Structure 1
Amino acid sequence: MPQQQHILFVVNSFPPRVGGIERHIADLADELVRQGHRATVVTLAEVSGVTTENGITVHRLRRHFPVASVMSFPALGTARRLRQQFAHAGVTAISTHTRFFPMSWVGVAAGRRLGVPVLHTEHGSDFVRGVSPLIGLASRVVDVTVGRQTMRKATSVLGVSEQVIAFVKRLSGVAGTVFYNAINLDGWERPDDLHVALRRFVFVGRLVPGKGWDSLLSAAALLAADETVQPFTVEILGDGPDMASLRAQIEQAGLRSCVRAHGYVSGETVRTYLRDSVLVNPTTLAEGFQTTLLEALAGTCQIVTYNVPGAAQLASEGAPLFIVTEQNPNALATAMRAALDTPKPSYPFEQLKQWSWPQRVQQYLALVSKAQR
C-alpha cells in the first residue's frame, strides 16, 4: 500500500476567498483527502481559528498589514512556531504557492526546520501586469529578491503551464516541472446526445484592467452594428473594481439590449451559462493556466481566446478553440462570429478526464515521492 502522505499547505489565502490560486489549492487538498491522504492548511485571515472543512484541517492565522485585497503578512516568527506546532504531526511535505506571497517564504523556512521537502507551485507566466506603475515596480523588486530565493530554496518548483516554467527559469534559473491545472468534473457529466449551440457569448473573470471585458464589449459592438450578424447575447459573470466602467461602456455602446452584467455568481451559475455557449477570453494578464478553459470544454463550449497559456496545447488535442493572435476588437469580433456560425466539434468528455483532479493528484503524489528521495 502506498505511503500515506501528509501535505502541509502554507499559503496566503484559502476559501472562502475566491480566486484561481485558492481554488487550485482547495481542489488539490480535497482530492488528496479523497484518495486517503492528509491535508492541512495554514493560511492568513481576519480572524484566527482552526476548523475542519471537507476533511481538511485549516489553521487560520491573523493577517497583518493587508495591502488592498491581495497581499497580507504573517506575524514575525511564524516559521518557528509552525515547526513547534507540526514537529510531531507526521508532515511529509510542504506545499507553497506563488513566489511573491509571504507565506511561501514562511513555508520554505518551515520545511527546512521540519526537515521535509517543499514543493513550490507557480501560477503566473510573467511579472505582474495590469497594475499601476508603482505596484508593478514594487512587485518586480519582490520577484527578483525574495521571490527568486523562494524558488531556489524550494526542493522542487512546479508550474501550471509551459509558459510558467519558462518564466521560472528566466527569473530564478530553476528548471521546473509542468503541473497543469485541473478541474473537478462532478456536475459536468453530460449525455451523448446532440446539443443545440446557443448564440450566447460568456465572459468569466474579475473585472480588472487587462482581463479583457472592455475588448469583449468593443467586439460585441462591432457585431451588433453588422446587419448580417444574427442576434446574440453576452453574459458577463464576475465582479471587481471595473464594474462601474463596464456598465458605462455598455450604455455608451448601445448594448443594453444584448449584454448583461451579473456580478459575482456561484460556480453552479457559471456552469449553467457555460453550457453550449461561446466562452470569450481576451485577457492580456500574466495568466498561468485558466481552469475556465477546461470548464468551457466540459460544458461543450466553443472558446475564443487570445493565445494564453494552455490554449495551444488544448487546440492541438482537438479542442474547439479559436485562438486570436492579434489583440484588437476587430480580430476578436471575427473569431467570435466564426465560433457562432461555424462551430468546431466539441471536446470528448472521456478525453477531458485527463484534465481532472483525480488524474492530477496522482502526478502530484509522484512528485512528492521524488522530492523525498
Structure 2
Amino acid sequence: MAPTYRIAMVCDFFYPQPGGIESHIYQLSTKLMDRGHKVVIITHAYEGRTGVRYLTNGLKVYYVPFMVVYRSASFPTVFSFFPIFRNIVLRERIEIVHGHASLSSLAHEGILHARTMGLRTVYTDHSLFGFADAGSILANKLLKFSLSDVDHVICVSHTCKENTVLRASLDPLMVSVIPNAVVPEDFKPLSPAEATNNNQKSSSSNNNTSSNQAPVPVRRLLGPHDPITIVVISRLFYNKGTDLLTAAIPRILQNHPNTRFIIAGDGPKSIDLEQMIEQNVLQDRVEMLGSIRHEEVRNVMVRGHIYLHPSLTEAFGTVIVEAASCGLYVVCTRVGGIPEVLPSHMTVFAKPEEDDLVAATGRAIADLRANKVRTELFHEQVKNMYSWTDVARRTERVYNGICGDISEVEFYGHDATANVAGWTATRGRSGVRSFALIDRLKRYYGCGVWAGKLFCIVVIVDYLLYVFLEWWFPRRNIDICPDWPRKNKVKTG
C-alpha cells in the first residue's frame, strides 16, 4: 500500500480571494485528500476570516493574523511566524511543508522554519520574473535563499522551470514540471436551454455547475453581422497587460462595429479602463463587472465568443484553459508559458504589443464569422488534457521521492550516491537534503559573498529560536488535533 502523508500548504494567497494560485492550492489539496493524505492550509487572515476554518470538504484552513502590505502578501518578518507555525505543525503532526508563490512571505518563511524543524519541504513556483530591474534582483536573491535548502521544486510550465532554475541557481534534476488543471464540470459551454432562454447573456439562473452530465455541444454559427462578445477576466494590474488592453479596446471596437466587451476583475488599473470608456463614449459597448467570485467566472465566460488575455508575463494562465473549456476562442499574448497551455487550433497568438493584439483579435473575429473554428468541441478536448487528479498523482510522486519511499533511480533518473556533476555531498540517503546544521550552512554560504554570510546568520538565529521554543513551550504541552474522517486511499495501480 502506498504511503500517506500529513501536508501543510503554506501561502499568502488563498480563498476568499479569487485567483489561479488560490484555485490551484484548493484543488490540489482536495485531490490529495481524496488520495488519503491529510492536508491543512496555512495563510494570513482575510477580512472576516481569522482563526481556524473548515471548508465543506473537510479541508482545514489556518488564517493567521498577519499584516498585509501589498497585493495580499503579508509583511515579511522572518522569525515572528515561527512560534505559531511550530504550534500548527506539531498540532497537526505535519510531515511535509509545501510552499507556493514567489511573492508569498509566509511560504518562504514556512520553508525555512520547516527545515529547521526537520521536515521535508516542497516549493511550487507560479510566476515568472526578470533579471534586470531592482525588484526582480531582490526577489531572485530571496528566492535563492529559500530554495537553497528545499527538497524539491515544482513549476507549472517548462518556461517557468527554466526561469526558476536560473533565478535560484538550482540543479534542474530537483525541479519537476506539473501544470495547473481545470475542473471541467465547473466550466461547461452553453447548453441548448441556456442558449435559447438567455440568448448568450446571463446564464446564472439556469446553470447547474455541479451536474456530472456531459454538456451538449452547441454550434453557435455566426453571420457576417451577428454581434460578437469578447470577455476579459483578470486582475487589473500592469503585469496582466491592462495598459495594453486599455489602448487596444477602442481600436478593436472601431474596426468591428458589431463587437462588445465584458471585463471582470479589479485592481489599480481599473480607473484607466473607466477613463478610456468615458473618453471614447463606449458605455454601451464595454461592460465593467468589477470583482467577481470564482464560482461566477463560468457564467460570465459563456456570455462571450472570444476570450482576450493580454498578459505581459505568465507562467501558465489557468484562466485561458477555463475559457477554452467554456467554448471560447482564445486570443492571448505569446509570453512565458502560455504557448505550452493550449493547442494551436484553440488560440490566436499576438506579440505583447498594441498593434499585434488588435490584429490578432481581428483574425479571431474573422475566423468565428467564417465558422472556421469548432469551439463547441473545445470542452471535451480540454477535459482530456487537464485533470486535477493527475496533478495530485504527480505531486504525490514528488512527496514519495523526497521522503525516500521510491528508489533514487525511479525518481531522479540516476543513483544520487554516484559522482554526478551538480549533485552535492550535502545530500543524504536517497539524495534528499541533509538536515544537519553544518550542511545547511554550507548550502546557504554559497548564495553570495555578502548574502551568503547574512543567510547563515539568519539560519543560525532561526535554529536558536527553535531551541528556545522547545524549552519555553515543550511539544508535550501542545494538544494533538484529531484527524477529520477521510476517504480510503484510492488505488494507484
Describe how 1:88-99 pairs up with structure 2 within 5 A. Answer: 89-99=92-102
Query: Residues 223 and 52 from structure 1, CA distance in 2 versus in 1: closer, same or farther, beyond 3 angstroms?
Result: closer
1:371 aligns with 2:374: no
User: By how many angstroms is 1:14 displaced?
Assistant: 1.9
Query: Residues 207 and 89 from structure 1, CA distance in 2 versus in 1: closer, same or farther, beyond 3 angstroms?
Result: closer
Q: Is the 8 A contact 2:242 2:310 kept in 1?
A: yes
Work out the CA distance in 2 between the residues paired with 1:147 and 1:225.
Answer: 45
Q: Show CA shifts across 1:214-254 (max 9, x none).
A: 4334333223333xx35011001111122222111112123
Q: Show CA shifts across 1:144-174 (max 9, x none).
A: 1x32111221101111112211111111121
Find the counterpart in structure 1 of residue 386 from structure 2: 355
Length-normalised TM-score, structure 2: 0.67
Q: Show CA shifts across 1:259-292 (max 9, x none).
A: 11111123343212322520111111x3221111
Q: Is the 8 A contact 1:208 1:241 kept in 2?
A: yes
1:141 aligns with 2:138: yes
Find the counterpart in structure 2 of residue 158 from structure 1: 154
Find the counterpart in structure 2 of residue 188 from structure 1: 187
Work out the CA distance in 2 between the residues paired with 1:83 and 1:204.
Answer: 38
Q: Is the 8 A contact 1:99 1:148 kept in 2?
A: no
Equivalent in 284, 290, 294 of residue 267 of structure 1: 294
1:213 aligns with 2:242: yes
Find the counterpart in structure 2 of residue 70 from structure 1: 72
1:24 aligns with 2:24: yes
Q: Is the 8 A contact 1:100 1:147 kept in 2?
A: no
CA RMSD in angstroms comes to 2.5
Q: Is the 8 A contact 1:10 1:106 kept in 2?
A: no
Work out the CA distance in 2 between the residues paired with 1:352 and 1:186.
Answer: 11
Work out the CA distance in 2 between the residues paired with 1:22 and 1:282.
Answer: 21
CA radius of gyration, larger in: 2
Equivalent in 55, 60, 63 of residue 58 of structure 2: 55
Q: Is the 8 A contact 1:236 1:261 kept in 2?
A: yes
Equivalent in 169, 175, 181 of residue 173 of structure 1: 169
Work out the CA distance in 1 between the residues paired with 2:176 and 2:166.
Answer: 14
Length-normalised TM-score, structure 1: 0.87
Q: Is the 8 A contact 1:99 1:150 kept in 2?
A: no
Work out the CA distance in 2 between the residues paired with 1:268 and 1:319.
Answer: 27
Find the counterpart in structure 1 of residue 261 from structure 2: 234
Describe how 1:73-112 pairs up with structure 2 within 5 A. Answer: 73=75, 76-79=79-82, 81-87=84-90, 89-112=92-115
Equivalent in 303, 315, 323 of residue 349 of structure 2: 323
5+ unaligned residues in a row in structure 2: which ranges? Answer: 189-214, 405-493
Query: Residues 329 and 5 from structure 1, CA distance in 2 versus in 1: closer, same or farther, beyond 3 angstroms?
Result: same
Q: Show CA shifts across 1:36-63 (max 9, x none).
A: 3211112221664112113111122220
Greater RCO structure (CA 8 Å; 6+ sep) = 2
Q: Show CA shifts across 1:62-103 (max 9, x none).
A: 203x32343213763533553354337442311101234221
Work out the CA distance in 1 between the residues paired with 2:105 and 2:241.
Answer: 29
5+ unaligned residues in a row in structure 1: which ranges? Answer: 130-135
User: By how many angstroms is 1:355 displaced?
Assistant: 1.4
Which moves more between the two structures, 46-55 or 257-266? 46-55
Q: Is the 8 A contact 1:279 1:304 kept in 2?
A: yes
Q: Which amino acid aligns with 1:192?
A: P
Aligned pair count reads 360
Query: Residues 252 and 88 from structure 1, CA distance in 2 versus in 1: closer, same or farther, beyond 3 angstroms?
Result: closer
Work out the CA distance in 2 between the residues paired with 1:172 and 1:83.
Answer: 26
Work out the CA distance in 2 between the residues paired with 1:287 and 1:363.
Answer: 22
Q: Which amino acid aligns with 1:45?
A: A
Work out the CA distance in 2 between the residues paired with 1:20 and 1:112.
Answer: 27
Larger proportion of strand:
1
Residue identity (%): 22
Work out the CA distance in 2 between the residues paired with 1:83 and 1:210.
Answer: 35
Which moves more between the two structures, 266-275 or 255-264? 266-275
Work out the CA distance in 2 between the residues paired with 1:303 and 1:128.
Answer: 29
User: By how many angstroms is 1:139 displaced?
Assistant: 5.4
Work out the CA distance in 1 between the residues paired with 2:378 and 2:346.
Answer: 10
1:341 aligns with 2:366: yes
Query: Residues 330 and 13 from structure 1, CA distance in 2 versus in 1: closer, same or farther, beyond 3 angstroms?
Result: closer
Q: Show CA shifts across 1:122-144 (max 9, x none).
A: 11111499xxxxxx635532431
Work out the CA distance in 2 between the residues paired with 1:29 and 1:141.
Answer: 30
1:124 aligns with 2:101: no
Query: Residues 59 and 234 from structure 1, CA distance in 2 versus in 1: closer, same or farther, beyond 3 angstroms?
Result: same
Find the counterpart in structure 2 of residue 5 from structure 1: 5
Which moves more between the two structures, 169-178 or 46-55? 46-55
Work out the CA distance in 1 between the residues paired with 2:232 and 2:218.
Answer: 26
User: By how many angstroms is 1:104 displaced?
Assistant: 2.1
